[in-house]
Amino acid sequence: MSYAEISVNSPAAQRRTFSYSIPSGMAVTPGQAVVVPFGNRVLQGVVLALADRVEVEETRDISGVIDPQPMLSPSHVAVARWISDYYLSPLFEAVSLMLPVGFDRRTVTYLEATDPTVDRSSLPARQRKTMEVLRDGGRSMRSLETAMGASAGSAVSQLVAKGLVTRRYELSRSRVSRRTETLLRLRLPATEVHEEAARLLRRAPRQAELLDYLTKRPAPMAVADARRDIGTDSAVIAALVRKNLVTTEQLEVRRSPFAHQGIATTAPLSLTEAQTAALDEIRSALAAPDGIGPTRVFVLHGVTGSGKTEVYLQALAETIRRGKRGIVLVPEISLTPQTVERFGGRFSNRVAVLHSRLSPGERFDEWRAIRDGEFDVVIGPRSAVFAPQPELGLIVIDEEHEWTYKQQDPTPRYHTREVAIKLAEETGAVVVLGSATPDVETYYRARREEFRLLTMPERIVPGGEPEMPPVEIVDLRAELKSGNSGVFSRALSAAIETVLSRGEQAILFLNRRGTATSVVCRSCGHVIPCPNCEIPLSYHSDEDRVLCHQCDYRIRVPEECPSCGSRRIKFLGIGTQKLEHETRRIFPTARVLRWDSDVTRRKHSHQEMLDIFRNHEADILIGTQMVAKGLDLPRVTLVGVVIADIGLNLLDFRAGERTFQQLCQVAGRAGRSVLGGRVIVQTYSPEHYAVEAAAGHDYARFYDAEIAYRRWLRDPPLTRIVRMTYSHDDDARCRQEAERMAKVIAEERDAAGVSGLELIGPAPAFHHRLRGRYRWQLILRGTGPSAVLKRLPAPRHWSIDVDPVGL
Ligand code: ADP
Ligand code: ZN
Ligand code: ZN
């Protein structure tokens, strides 16, 4: 074939490819990275397809191939095209998701004289000078400019035109760094070392300590570990090397995060009945020839503690047994240390853990190692779905309802679940979506038999009853009426006292999500609404006003409640810091640990926080949603939800779902051992269906209520939504453009006869002013809201979000 369709790294390329001719002698395959001329520049591109003929009259030649090995597999090419098409994102941005980090590099132009000995005397001065510089071999354009000044470019162009000089393109060097580690090894047998250690004990106790340490561990030992464990430093090591007692060696590190963590390997557990039933179905899908059989997407709906992870592990083992590999997606690596540990324990150094702490060079190494098939399992956050894992057989998405699976910025604004399903379609892989509280959309699709539903309704309590912890709802309004306006209800205080007296542990959860604080009457629970829209008003501290995000109605903070006249107006907004303070004051003997992003950003890693609490160095753990994720701590017998209302008042059709999910997740932290456990939920809206259903651990009840509302209000999953946002320094310009766009879309819709597509807005966005810019938005709602947008030229400066989460 003589032509290639190429996705070019230029914003001007938008969603299309460009045709180039393949110069004779150049071998080009789909998925390969190349360099191509584009306008008057030279850019990177990726070949998406080859063709015998093209529609354009003139094509330019591909300048060069960056790497003979394709960067993208045919499946990944297909997925990239799909992402660009479905999420309306520039094609190269979709392709970039699958390229190794650091690929997006500068191109370096190299110049070479075609014939260094050519007679230069007839050339104009600057061209002659250029040829002189190039006489001794090729130079990069930049070094030529250093030698000749910035005007070298025009002389070069003239020489190229005359055929005296050729240009060659290369990507600038990536900053790939190999990581090495220093290892220590004893030179003598252990018995002799003990004698040496005894001799050194008096004069050089730290050297003795290191010797002793090394005899007790398998050789060789990493310096970093010795440093961490016994505080060895380089002087101590140097002294022992001088004495010929220890040798050091350098080893290139394969970043297997489990190698030095001392994680015990685990054997497969013998499964419960429910686990067996679920695994059997997944295994038969794995056994079916690629892509054949009924749906290959499973929803593993298992209550917290029902043993979903063990099902993933054994499904992966089966995948590997069949000569295939897996990808496991977790909401956020640093927040799920226990889950990651379990995979490491089962598959040890065949597991790659992708996380953002790696440098670009390290990530590039890792990417290549994965592509070369070095890992059976790749674990990571949403971007790991793009790992170049060969022979993909299984994709697991743990806690599939988590919103972190949707990419917000930068584009493409993809959802990991949809990408995984698409990738599985292309590769024949099986997908397992696991959750105790599946996304309403996921469950809806399972009910319609688009996905296969596997249910594990009981929790596994080693040596105990398979019961979910009882949940008690405390009505904070009643609490107030009886004179208690503190953070802790009487029930919660009493429960904390009990936990402390028994030497058990408690988690206090405060959901601080939601940027705006609601204005609430503490006497009657009335949430002050907008008179025009009936949605709750939000307090904006920057202007000290409460305002409506729908119509921009704004007032001062009311002095009394419009409903009951009480003057006890409050902003719902106690934060975890205040909660910590109150907890210490009321329970002075308790050891209190706060775990939120303020703490983890400055002081301790998530792993450290987990270790402190797991080792029972604290009695009460206070945290935001991050403590709700996947912790399995046997000593926790009480979970207190301090206020369960904040999520309910947000202007978002998913607010109820969000609240339900968080309550279930956090409640699932209690009672995971024979010690049993209970949950206390404090709320101003005890009758809300999301709160009631969570208290009953009743997903079906929640789902039925929720889907009825969605149907009634025509919200997803009954429809689909595209959110378009325009931002500008000038509010009026913003509004004008939004109105213009609404008109363009409406006209196109009517002209094309698209039915059932609603246009909502334009209206100021939920965050009307963000980072100094005004934002207006336009919502398209219908069965296929992108269709009309695809007919229009890509709207400039608009941000488009297909299937947005969090409106
Ligand atoms: P989930 O992921 O569904 O919340 P986990 O995987 O955390 O549940 O399992 C809960 C607990 O049950 C864990 O401590 C796990 O080790 C244990 N467990 C899981 N499967 C089994 C089994 N088949 N036999 C015994 N214990 C199990
Ligand atoms: Zn309003
Ligand atoms: Zn009131």
User: Per-residue pLDDT averaged across 330-341, rounded?
Assistant: 78
| 631 contacts 505 by C-beta, under 8 angstroms | no
Question: Residue 707 pLDDT more than 90?
Answer: yes
pLDDT on residue 285: 94
Phi, psi of 724 (to 5 degrees): -115, 130
Task: State the Rg of the chain over Cα.
Answer: 31
Ligand 1, atom 7, lies closest to the CA of 305
Question: Residue 697 pLDDT more than 50?
Answer: yes
Element (H, E) at 641: strand 636-641
pLDDT on residue 516: 42
Ligand 1, atom 9, lies closest to the CA of 307
Question: Residue 549 pLDDT more than 80?
Answer: no
| 654 contacts 442 by C-beta, under 8 angstroms | no
Distance 447 CA to ligand 1 centre (A): 26
Distance from C-alpha of 436 to C-alpha of 329, rounded to nearest angstrom: 16
Going 686 to 690 to 694 to 697, the CA torsion angle's sign is: positive
Instruction: Give, as one character, the DSSP assignment of residue 591.
Output: -
Question: Residue 332 pLDDT more than 70?
Answer: yes
User: Per-residue pLDDT averaged across 420-426, rounded?
Assistant: 95
Ligand 1, atom 19, lies closest to the CA of 307
Q: For residue 488, give the nearest of 570, 561, 617, 574 by alpha carbon.
A: 574
**Where is pLDDT greater, at 167 or 399?**
399
pLDDT on residue 78: 97
Distance 262 CA to ligand 1 centre (A): 21
Which of 180-189, 344-353, 429-438, 564-573 has the largest mean confidence?
A: 429-438
Helix (H, G, I), strand (E, B) or coil at 13: helix
Closest approach atom of ligand 1 to CA 272: 23
Ligand 1, atom 1, lies closest to the CA of 305
User: Per-residue pLDDT averaged across 263-278, rounded?
Assistant: 89
Instruction: Give, as one character, the DSSP assignment of residue 386.
Output: G
Average pLDDT, the chain: 85
Distance 528 CA to ligand 3 centre (A): 9
Task: Answer yes or no: pTM beyond 0.85.
Answer: no
Quickly count: other Cβ atoms within 10 Å of residue 616's Cβ. 13
Phi, psi of 76 (to 5 degrees): -70, -35
pLDDT on residue 503: 93
What is the pairing mode between strands 430-435 and 64-65?
Answer: unpaired
Residue-wise pLDDT tens digits, 141-158: 888 888 887 778 888 888
pLDDT on residue 106: 61
Helix (H, G, I), strand (E, B) or coil at 159: helix
Q: 377: which 2 tokens?
A: 């399992």
Q: Which CA distances in Å does 635 have to 310, 545, 615, 616, 697?
A: 21, 45, 10, 8, 21
Q: Which ligand is nearest to the CA of 763?
A: 2
Question: Residue 598 pLDDT more than 80?
Answer: no
Ligand 1 first shell, C-beta below 6 A: 269-272, 275, 302, 304-310, 460, 462, 632
Q: What is the 3-state secondary structure (H, E, C) of 249-288?
A: EEEECCCCCCCCCCCCCCCCCCCCHHHHHHHHHHHHHHHC
pLDDT on residue 631: 74
Q: For residue 229, give the nearest of 219, 240, 214 by alpha carbon.
A: 214
Look-up: residue for tokens 């190269």? 92
| 537 contacts 556 by C-beta, under 8 angstroms | no
Distance 307 CA to ligand 1 centre (A): 4
Q: How confident is residue 780, by pLDDT bands cut at 50, 70 and 90?
A: very high
| 81 contacts 48 by C-beta, under 8 angstroms | yes
pLDDT on residue 6: 96
Quickly count: other Cβ atoms within 10 Å of residue 47's Cβ. 26
Distance 524 CA to ligand 3 centre (A): 4
Going 799 to 802 to 806 to 807, the CA torsion angle's sign is: positive
Least confident of 192-196, 241-245, 711-715, 797-801: 192-196
Distance from C-alpha of 413 to C-alpha of 403, rounded to nearest angstrom: 12
User: Per-residue pLDDT averaged across 679-705, rounded?
Assistant: 92
Least confident of 13-17, 314-318, 446-450, 662-666: 662-666
Which of 310, 328, 455 is the best mutation target for the ligand 1 pocket, counting ligand atoms within 8 Å of the beta carbon and taking the most? 310
Q: 160: which 2 tokens?
A: 């190229």
Least confident of 21-25, 151-155, 573-577, 720-724: 573-577
| 675 contacts 504 by C-beta, under 8 angstroms | yes
Question: Residue 658 pLDDT more than 80?
Answer: yes
**Where is pLDDT greater, at 291 or 693?**
693
Distance 173 CA to ligand 2 centre (A): 55
Q: Which CA distances in Å does 427 have to 50, 85, 700?
A: 21, 19, 33
pLDDT on residue 792: 86
Helix (H, G, I), strand (E, B) or coil at 165: strand
Residue-wise pLDDT tens digits, 575-590: 677 788 889 999 999 9
Distance 101 CA to ligand 1 centre (A): 36
Q: Which ligand is nearest to the CA of 569?
A: 3
**Where is pLDDT greater, at 607 or 404?**
404
Least confident of 166-175, 226-235, 270-279, 713-722: 166-175
**Where is pLDDT greater, at 442 or 266?**
442
Which protein residues have a CB closer than 5 Å to ligand 2 (ion)? 530, 532-533, 548, 550-551, 553
Which of 632, 633, 635, 666 is the best mutation target for the ligand 1 pocket, counting ligand atoms within 8 Å of the beta carbon and taking the most? 632
Q: Which ligand is nearest to the CA of 526?
A: 3
pLDDT on residue 92: 95
| 421 contacts 432 by C-beta, under 8 angstroms | no
Distance from C-alpha of 637 to C-alpha of 633, rounded to nearest angstrom: 9
Q: Which ligand is nearest to the CA of 565?
A: 3
User: Per-residue pLDDT averaged across 674-682, rounded?
Assistant: 85
Distance 182 CA to ligand 1 centre (A): 38
User: Per-residue pLDDT averaged across 439-457, rounded?
Assistant: 95
Largest pairwise CA distance in the chain: 103
The helix-helix angle for 141-148 and 152-161 (nearest 10°) equals 120
User: Per-residue pLDDT averaged across 791-806, rounded?
Assistant: 87
Closest approach atom of ligand 1 to CA 338: 7
> What is the percentage of the chain residues whose pLDDT exceeds 70?
88
Instruction: Give, as one character, the DSSP assignment of residue 436.
Output: S
pLDDT on residue 746: 93
Distance from C-alpha of 601 to C-alpha of 721, rounded to nearest angstrom: 35
Question: Residue 223 pLDDT more than 90?
Answer: no
Distance from C-alpha of 705 to C-alpha of 714, rounded to nearest angstrom: 14
DSSP assignment string, 381-419: SGGGGG---SSEEEEEEETTT-GGGB--SSS---BHHHH
Distance 304 CA to ligand 1 centre (A): 9
